[in-house]
Structure 1
Amino acid sequence: MKELSEVIGKNLKEIRKKQNLSLDETSRLTGVSKPMLGQIERGQSNPTVSTLWKIATGLKVPFSEFMKKSTADYEIVSLKNIDPVLECGEDMKIYTMFPFNNEENFEILYIKLESGAVHKSQKHRDEVKEYVFVIDGVLHMKIGSENLTIKKGEALKFKANIDHEYSNLNKEECFFQNIIVYQNTHQNQV
């Protein structure tokens, strides 16, 4: 987990510097306190998914920009080699399989929801679409005011510019893939 915290911190600092922002300015844009941002940049804090989404939204970058590592011409990834981002205590684990890059405009996440886990996601920008494919279990989603059930082998596509919620109301774990597609240029993401 320490390695992931260091990667997130390094990437946050690089993003902030590229945008020529101070910690104070970043705090105003994201709603995350300056001390917390400093701790994250130094790798001393493991931020929650909600905190990372606030930062990503405020800085207008994709969520997975914080987990990005250098890549080659091809890449094989394995869950056992990825430190997950934890949410809902440890009931939600998000593995960044393929982080966002400017050429492809998408990111692929593998998500595990324990029984009883509920994650509320804030709406994204108008250009963002999400594709959810349930690998195992049953995923319950709320998109705006509509409740949906997606079972193993089923997929859902939706515009993510509305509040949405992922939950596992069953006794078994739920595993799903989330592909987040950003339609416009890098600066107009999230």
Structure 2
Amino acid sequence: MEHEQIHKKIGKNLQAIRKSRSLSLDQTAELTGVSKAMLGQIERGDTNPTISILWKIVNGLHISFTQLIEDNESVAKVYRFEDVEPFVEEDGNYRAFPIVPYEQQKRFEIYTVEMERGIIHDSEAHFEGVEEYLLMMSGELRVHIQDEVFELRAGDALHFAADQPHRYENIADEKTVYHSIICYPL
């Protein structure tokens, strides 16, 4: 399979980044200091931009240089549970697997958490504006947030502001498993 020429790849990536931010060519020109005509030529793959022009673009759009030259991702990405190393606490009885890692443009991460019977895990407050969603898979969980207590079973979900200390407590007679989706503010 023939590799795509680098200037064509840069053009496609630039256009995708610009459109994902709902920026016109005029707005992008204003942000980067690169003319609208030049940006259009780059996006169409009609020109091979100089390094200095590429630096103006990445600095103006606050992106990494590699975002312009990396291969486009597939429309789907598989995250394999067996490929993930968990964060382990409570003598191995609390395991948080970072299944979907945080990415700047997505602003969330997903963990699968396993808690053995009787385990209590305290979580420090996250920074202001962080929200958390819990999706229960099996077992039972008691969640303490300030003065409120929530009891969850398989199939339940909980959403809360995670910028305060919170506690997870497995109240089942078995291992409890849930997904934690942590969302970060813009």
Give 1:135's aligned amino acid.
M
2:143 to 141, 144, 148: 141
Evaluate the alpha carbon distance shift between residue 85 and residue 72 of structure 1 in structure 2; reply closer, same or farther with a 3 A threshold.
farther
The secondary structure found in structure 2 opposite 1:115 is: coil
Residue 79 of structure 1 corresponds to: 81
The secondary structure found in structure 2 opposite 1:147 is: strand
Number of residue pairs aligned between Structure 1 and Structure 2: 114
Give 1:81's aligned amino acid.
D
Task: Name the % identity.
Answer: 26
| 1:74-121 deviation line (CA, Å, top 9, x unaligned) | 421222221111011111111111110000000000000000111101
TM-score by structure 2 length? 0.59
Unaligned runs of 5+ in 1: 1-70, 185-190
| 1:137-176 deviation line (CA, Å, top 9, x unaligned) | 1111101121110110000000011110011022111000
The secondary structure found in structure 1 opposite 2:92 is: coil
Give 1:107's aligned amino acid.
E
Higher relative contact order (CA 8 A, sep 6+): 1
Residue 107 of structure 2 corresponds to: 105
Unaligned runs of 5+ in 2: 1-71
The secondary structure found in structure 2 opposite 1:111 is: strand
Deviation beyond 2 Å, 4+ runs, structure 1: 71-75
TM-score by structure 1 length? 0.57
Give 1:173's aligned amino acid.
K
Residue 179 of structure 1 corresponds to: 181
Residue 117 of structure 2 corresponds to: 115
Give 1:137's aligned amino acid.
G
| 1:37-76 deviation line (CA, Å, top 9, x unaligned) | xxxxxxxxxxxxxxxxxxxxxxxxxxxxxxxxxx954421
Q: CA RMSD in A?
A: 1.4
Residue 56 of structure 2 corresponds to: none
